[in-house]
Amino acid sequence: MLALDIRNLNKKYPHFQIKDVSFQLEKGYIMGFIGANGAGKTTTIKSILNMVQVDSGEIYILGKNIADHEIELKQEIGCAFGDIDFYTRSKIKTLTDITKKFYKNWNDETYYNYLKRFKLDENKKIAELSRGMKVKYSLALALSHGAKLLILDEPTSGLDPVSRDDLLDIFQELIIGGEISILFSTHITSDLERCADYITFIEHGQIIASSEKNELKESYRLLSGSEAQLNEVREHLISYKINSFGFTGLIHAKDIDPSSSLRATTPSLDEIMIYFAKKEDVYV
């Protein structure tokens, strides 16, 4: 069963658009949503939550169309946007009391466990929290009403390495039963190397790839060789860099000539992102 099924989303703004965005997340798994700043991650996430009105496209959550079942489905979704910039002069306690009224399955015990785990003090005002603390607080809210699908926009940014590690542990604990699914956007790819099952990569409002993590990495190769060898492959390369040792470039694994003697390695997620970003620069 699919936890999330996004089909052909389109949304046009004066200077930016997301185009034909489609991807699926199977129930019980973690998907990382990556892309450079401004690639369309947040717009896509907000469209899923119906916080942005899309021009066209369909979104199914746990098998139901969100356009028809929005209120019901939102009980099943936990979302966090990293920052909280409303009611900043209220105490955590006050804001929680307001939030929990909206959720049928709110669980105080779970909530207080997270407060304790995140070392959050209920009596602090939102304005007094550091960025990392705000992230943790918004996560505590997202995780305390029995959500089946978590949609988190950059949950790890602003967190120190220890807190990030703890958060990834929480993600893995949550999916252990196979019932909860997580979609989270990030540009800290080491988080994904560790716990993501699937990766969706967006660039300039379009999905470049969406597949199992290792498959995605294996579908590209990082080639290196001398400048003379560059000519053999230049037209197939997504982009390349030249230095005094020769060149390094990213290529689709299917475009590699099997008889080629060039050194080929599997790129990291960072490298894939960097070379795709570089490709765009060429056209500018």
Partner 1 sequence: MIVTISNTSEKPIYQQLYEQISAQILKGELESGYCLPPIRQAALELHVSVITVKKAWEELERSGLINTVTGKGCFVAEFSPDEMLRIRNETVLKQMESDTAYYKSFGLTLDEVIGLLNKIY
Residues that bind partner 1 (CB under 8 A): 28-30, 168-169, 172-173, 175-178, 193-198, 212-214, 218, 265-266
Q: Which is nearer to partner 1, 114 or 198 (CB)?
A: 198
Q: Which is nearer to partner 1, 8 or 266 (CB)?
A: 266
CA 144 to chain centre: 21
CB neighbour list of residue 259: distance below 8 Å, 6 or more residues apart: none
For 49-86, give one letter per residue: b (16+ CB within 10 A) or e. Answer: beebebeebebbbbeeebeeeeeebbbbbbbbbbebee
Q: Which is nearer to partner 1, 28 or 158 (CB)?
A: 28
Residue ranges of the alpha helices (H) in the chain?
Answer: 41-48, 70-74, 92-100, 108-117, 131-142, 161-174, 189-195, 213-218, 227-233, 269-283
Q: Are 277 and 35 in contact (CB under 8 A)?
A: no
Q: Which is nearer to partner 1, 56 or 265 (CB)?
A: 265
Residue 274 CB, shortest distance to partner 1, in Å, is 18
Residue 270 CB, shortest distance to partner 1, in Å, is 13
Residue 196 CB, shortest distance to partner 1, in Å, is 6
CA–CA separation, 284 and 282 (whole Å): 6
Residue 176 CB, shortest distance to partner 1, in Å, is 5
What is the DSSP-derived secondary structure letter of residue 102?
T
Residue 193 CB, shortest distance to partner 1, in Å, is 6
Q: Which is nearer to partner 1, 74 or 213 (CB)?
A: 213
